[in-house]
Structure 1
Amino acid sequence: MPLDPFLVPLLETLPTVPAEIEDIALFRAQENAGAAALTEQLLEPAPPVRSKRTVTIPVHDGDITLNVFHPDSDGPHPVHLYFHGGGWIGGTIHSALIDVLCQERAAGADCIVVAVEYRKAPEHPFPAALDDGYAALLWVAENVQALGARADVITVGGGSAGANLAAALCLKTRDDNGPAIAFQLLEVPALDFTFSSPSIRSKGTGYGLTEQTLHLCRRLYLTSEADATNPYASPLLAENLSDLPPAHIMSAEYDPIADDGARYAERLTSAGVPATFSLQLGHIHGSSAFTKVMASARAWREEGLQALRTVHDRNSPVS
């Protein structure tokens, strides 16, 4: 399918990411300002939720914050642990963009959403973000009663780098016999730091996210070449993908990492894990959020919400 007509002029206005970042604080500030502008212009307003609160939890050598969103209904509710994107170096849960996405998920799937402000590279390289995510999962599991949550229906999800962390968290939780994860919802996931997917080159320029930017993120996130093949950094390269949670994976057609999602779904299925994949036609990396201006973005949102609702219904206790 051709690129969505709305995205053609937009691509000409998107700022380019430099080959190197000299001032990471300035880069993040500019990125956050750009995200705020896009949120105002391109996203539908967030649906109401009953409450939102911020909590702080300890992690190795520090602490992180979590934003907790409760739907406007009585529980106990399933819990969805959400990881934002940003190339492992940027992005934040403390933004209007992530508030909208989390409130959509809380209201649309009738679940508690816990958004994780994991620490970023280069100050905190791999595996700090994953370890923070695991700490957040443990916190959820230890606080289900206080949250009004169901320990038997904890799902994870995220977009881009966040989807990478969600997928890696499922591997780590399996390996460490951690809390049970019922489902993983991976959107535009980056899953292979060796960049072996053909789409890296065929869609690597001209569509917003570039191959050059992917290499920049790898240099800042990983501390050695060996890390690129570590399954907790590159879940697609894990030798054993059995006994993982069921997955629904959504990739954008005009995205350099589109093939990562398709390949991961195939490998999960081959390992006996129920996995479905959909290629979102006409989309670029990140355009799933543009619900105010793209009908296909609204359809993308509904597909993700329906996947979560299906898991919740399947796991509902029999009355």
Structure 2
Amino acid sequence: MSTAMSRVALSVQGAALHAVFALPRPVRRALAGPPVRRDGLELALDAQLLLRMVALGDRRPAVPSVEDARARVEAGRTILGGPIVDGVGTRALTLPGSDGPIPGRLYEPDGLPTGSPLLVYLHGGGWVVGSMDTHDGVCRYLAKHANVRVLSVGYRLAPEYPFPAAADDAYAAFRHAAENAESLGADPLAIAVGGDSSGGNLAAVVCLDALRRGGPRPVFQLLFYPATDPSMRRPSRDLFGDGFLLTDDDMTWFIERYCPDLSARTDHRLAVLLADDLRGLPPAYVATAGFDPLRDEGNAYADRLREAGVPVVKRQHDDLIHGFVTFVSLGSRFREAVSEAAGALRTGLALRSRANVVDLFRPTG
């Protein structure tokens, strides 16, 4: 918001933002401006309006401190706000990690029977910012609309804990969930991993780690605009690296803090796209956004999975921007995209779950 608006309580700013999104479509179009088109694609009105509101805000410092960046993201969570998804309970957990305890939060839809599928979810934020709280909304949404338990993981962040700390925590959390499924109310044969952006990267890394290490493996991977190869630039980074929320400078800032060692940026536990062999990985739903600098590497990863014989749905939402899973409380276009992913997750897990397959497809009449 403007300097004046920055002095207004975050809850008031949030109410104003939601009021704008509730305006009639012609008014929202007038506020957003003429349609934005690039690379043969047209930006969704909801996405354009959000970008317009962000553009009215304070300019971020050219080189933010880690503390300022984290505070900004947490403030954004309050502003986005919206009603809490009802019918979903939560409980705090502590998960064992190789270097100490890892905080977790289990989301449980009301009435979901024991022995049902579970999604281990890894939040986005460039491995540096973000938290279980900033992604509370999407975890609740997926839990309710995919009818699964969701285990959100508070993995360690850089630069305090650089690569591969986050990857280590992500794998440890999945391994714990798989080996203690009963205590989580889950079916050990129907555990998926998922995440957005850097969290999508970590989810993909968990699948590769689990395959290579032996032992329990995820049966499905839900990847939202995943980072898959920080070692090279692709056209979408130049096309959409400014003005579409996630910027080229942001991406450089994040990777410099998570993996300052240039030689490590081709390691398969970071650049999963460069892994020699992807055969045997679990089925995947890979959702990318048309106006996202990460678009091309996410699509390239889906293509490599398919070439390796992995069942995969590559879904590019042509009209959306990076971060859309965290905007489910705002425009309907964001909810549509996440609802589609929830349906894919629910179906993919039901095919593996003894407890849910009958209930999911029972007659409704």
Following superposition, the deviation at residue 5 of structure 1 comes to: 2.4
- Describe the shift of the 1:162–1:13 C-alpha distance in structure 2 as closer, same or farther (beyond 3 A): farther
- Equivalent residue in structure 1 for 2:178, among 141, 151, 159: 141
User: In the aligned structure 1, how far is the partner of 2:276 from the partner of 2:215?
Assistant: 20
Stretch moving more, 55-64 or 76-85? 55-64
Q: What is the alpha-carbon distance in structure 1 between the residues aligned to residue 353 and residue 267 of structure 2? A: 36
* Runs of at least 5 residues in structure 2 that lack an aligned partner in the other structure: 1-40, 359-365
Report the identity percentage. 37
Match of 2:131 in 1: 92
Residue number among 307, 310, 314 corresponding to 2:344 in the alignment: 307
Alpha-carbon distance in structure 2 between the residues aligned to 1:251 and 1:206? 17
Match of 2:116 among 50, 70, 77: 77
CA distance in 1, matches of 2:287, 2:269: 20
Matches within 5 A, 1:84-123: 84-93=123-132, 95=133, 97-123=134-160
1:267 and 2:319 are equivalent in the alignment: no
Shift of 1:296: 1.8
Matches of 2:57 and 2:285 in 1, distance apart? Answer: 29
Gap runs ≥5 in structure 1: none
Partner of residue 55, structure 1: 93
Superposed CA offset, 1:140-161 (max 9, x none):
1221111221000110001111
CA distance in 2 between partners of 1:89 and 1:305 (Å)? 26
User: Which residue of structure 2 lines up, in the alignment, with residue 34 of structure 1?
Assistant: 76
1:190 aligns with one of 227, 230, 244: 227
Counterpart among 284, 293, 297 of residue 247 in structure 1: 284
Aligned-residue Cα RMSD (Å) equals 1.7
Counterpart for residue 295 of structure 1: 332
* Aligned counterpart, 1:168: 205
Q: What does the per-residue CA deviation read over 1:72-110, in whole Å, with 9 as the maximum and x for residues that have no partner? A: 1222111100000111001010x2x42221111111111
Q: Distance in 2 between matches of 1:79 and 1:149?
A: 6
TM, length-normalised to structure 1: 0.92
Provide the C-alpha distance between the structure 1 equivalents of 2:290 and 2:302, rounded to a whole number of angstroms: 15
Q: Give the alignment partner of residue 10 of structure 1, picking from 36, 46, 53.
A: 53
Moved more, 239-248 or 188-197: 188-197
Q: 1:14 to 1:238 in 2, by over 3 A?
A: farther
Displacement after TM superposition at 1:194 (Å): 1.4
Measured against aligned partners, the alpha-carbon deviations of 1:212-239 in whole angstroms (never above 9, x if no partner) come to: 1101111000031111111110111111
Q: Give the secondary structure class of the aligned counterpart of 1:280.
A: strand
Corresponding position: 1:257 with 2:300: no
Structure 2 length as normaliser, TM-score?
A: 0.81
Q: Which amino acid aligns with 1:30?
A: R
Q: Secondary structure at the match of 1:70?
A: strand
Which residue identity does 1:314 align to in structure 2?
Answer: L
Following TM superposition, the consecutive aligned residue runs of length 4 or more in structure 1 with deviations greater than 3 angstroms are 13-19
Q: 1:253 to 1:14 in 2, by over 3 A?
A: farther
Q: Is the 8 A contact 1:47 1:104 kept in 2?
A: no
Secondary structure, counterpart of 2:221 in structure 1: strand
Whether 1:279 aligns to 2:316 is yes
Q: Which residue of 1 aligns with 2:85?
A: 46
CA apart distance, 1:315: 1.6
Which has the larger Rg?
Answer: 2
Q: Secondary structure of 2:206's match?
A: helix
Query: Equivalents in 2 of 1:57, 1:289: separation in Å?
Result: 25
Distance in 1 (alpha carbons) for counterparts of 2:306 and 2:60: 35
For the 8 Å contact 2:117–2:350, the answer to whether it is kept is: no
Inter-CA distance 141–7: structure 2 relative to 1 (3 Å threshold):
closer
Change (3 A) 1:198 1:82: same
Q: Distance in 1 between matches of 2:79 and 2:269?
A: 33
Contact 1:19 1:216 in 2 (8 A): no
Give the drift of 1:295.
2.4
CA offsets, 1:257-300, max 9 Å, x none? Answer: 01111111111110111111111122111134333442221211
- Please give the per-residue CA displacement for 1:98-142, whole angstroms capped at 9, x wherever unaligned: 222111111111111100000000000000001001111121122
